[in-house]
């Protein structure tokens, strides 16, 4: 639910930092998408478990992604490849350093370095996360932000809920409820409204 707030926070951030005034269609579409995500999540059964640290981390993730969208648009003089390269290089430097420090502290450096060769499923997961989820996804996101802006790009985040729902049906044989279907349709409608041109009708 927290991550569904990213488009709203990104819209506010672009308004405050980039001085971009969102159109009525973008504002309405993003809010409609948020409503669809909330309906889908709660229809599937939201957990009542509360973790203060967990919510703080989620809040940090939402703010970080919203600011990322804004600053990518500000870096309009650079290509999507250049921005993605710098992002991933900085991320690799930070996380490799943290992983090595943790391994040294726990005296497990050899185990860390040999883990991809000892566990094939771990290697596949790392390759998928590194190539598809990081390189490809962020490159496409950076290009999209440069071409259509923060507000329109962030509105598509709601579709991740629809994709997750469909993946659960196909891969995990999960059952689909009527409220989830309605929520998914609302999400798609919201994204469509947020990305339509000014003055155009929905017909």
Q: Could you read off the pLDDT of 160-182 as tens digits, one per residue? A: 888 888 888 888 888 878 888 89
Residue 185 lies in a domain: yes
- Model confidence at 28: pLDDT above 70: yes
Residue 203 lies in a domain: no
Give the domain range for residue 72.
Answer: 3-194
Evaluate whether residue 47 is within a structural domain: yes
Encode pLDDT of 69-115 as tens digits: 999 988 888 998 999 999 999 999 999 999 999 999 998 889 888 88
Q: Is residue 201 part of a domain?
A: no
- Over 60: is that where the pLDDT of 47 sits? no
* Ramachandran region, residue 19 (left: φ > 0; alpha: ψ -120 to 50; beta: rest): left
Asked if residue 202 belongs to a domain, the reply is no
The answer to whether 41 and 164 have CB atoms below 8 angstroms apart is no
Predicted local distance difference test score (pLDDT) of residue 135: 93
DSSP 18: S
| 91 lies in some domain | yes
Q: Flag whether 199 is in a domain.
A: no
Q: How many domains does the chain have?
A: 1
Residue 34 lies in a domain: yes
Amino acid 85: pLDDT: 94
């Amino acid at each position: 639910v927290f991550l569904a707030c990213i488009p709203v926070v990104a819209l506010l951030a672009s308004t405050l930092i980039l001085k971009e005034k969102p159109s009525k269609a973008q504002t309405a579409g993003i809010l409609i998408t948020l409503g669809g995500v909330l309906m889908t999540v709660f229809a599937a059964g939201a957990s009542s478990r509360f973790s203060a640290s967990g919510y703080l981390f989620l809040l940090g993730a939402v703010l970080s992604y919203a600011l990322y969208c804004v600053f990518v648009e500000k870096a309009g003089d650079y290509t999507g490849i250049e921005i993605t390269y710098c992002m991933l290089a900085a991320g690799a430097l930070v996380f490799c350093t943290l992983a090595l420090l943790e391994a040294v502290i726990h005296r497990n450096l050899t185990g860390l370095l040999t883990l991809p060769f000892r566990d094939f499923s771990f290697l596949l997961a790392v390759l998928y996360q590194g190539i598809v989820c990081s390189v490809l996804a962020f490159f496409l996101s950076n290009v999209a932000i440069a071409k259509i802006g923060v507000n329109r790009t962030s509105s598509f985040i709601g579709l991740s809920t629809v994709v997750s729902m469909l993946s659960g049906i196909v891969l995990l044989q999960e059952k689909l409820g009527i409220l989830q279907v309605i929520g998914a349709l609302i999400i798609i409608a919201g994204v469509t409204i947020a990305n339509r041109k000014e003055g155009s009708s929905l017909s």
